[in-house]
Structure 1
Amino acid sequence: MAKKSIIAREYIRIKLEKKFCEKRLELKTIISSTTSSDKERWSAMMMLQRLPRDSSRCRQSNRCSQTGRAHGVLRKFKLCRSKIRKAAVQGLIPGLKKASW
């Protein structure tokens, strides 16, 4: 199980990303726009740099919803590989069964 402080840090990143999502997208469209002037682009870049670093989507990591583990997490189930295996053996995930050939 991951430390509670690391799970809390990840939760803060998710909240910040939701809060600044529209602002960040707006600034990025100004920067990538060919019609905006150089001064507008420069000011948009400076505004983007002033936003919190953790508000970026790429700062988040997929974590297991049960254990908080960061590696070996399947996006479809939001569970790590060991918890998926345990749930599949118990029959808790519909449509998922152990392969045998």
Structure 2
Amino acid sequence: MARKSLIARENKRQRMVERYADLRAKLKEEGRWEELDKLPRNSNAIRLHNRCRLTGRPKGYMRKFGLCRVKFRELALHGKIPGITKASW
């Protein structure tokens, strides 16, 4: 489980990206780079990091499911993810 502060920081960045998205796009389109530089750094979408929705784990993230590999395997083995079965041959 990731530290609560890291999860909260990532959520704060996500909200900031959403708030400034339109303004950033407008400034980029007009080429007003000085004003774009004055916006908060965390308002840039490139600073976001994908994290597991259940644990907040940053590594081993599976984008399609929004989970880390550990939780994905655990839920798949219990049949909690529709359409996913463990391979056996």
Which TM class, normalised by the smaller chain length? over 0.9
Greater C-alpha Rg: 1
Q: TM-score, normalised by structure 1?
A: 0.85
Matching of residue 3 in structure 1 with residue 3 in structure 2: yes
What is aligned with 2:21? 21
Runs (4+) of structure 1 exceeding 4 A deviation are none
| 1:1-101 equivalence runs, <5 A | 1-31=1-31, 44-101=32-89
State how far apart, in whole Å, the 1-side matches of 2:12 and 2:37 are. 19
2:19 partner amino acid: K
Figure out how many residues of one structure are paired with residues of the other and give that number: 89
Q: Which runs of 5+ in 2 are unaligned?
A: none
TM-score (structure 2 length as normaliser): 0.97
Identity, % of aligned positions: 47
Amino acid at match of 1:25: A
RMSD: 0.7
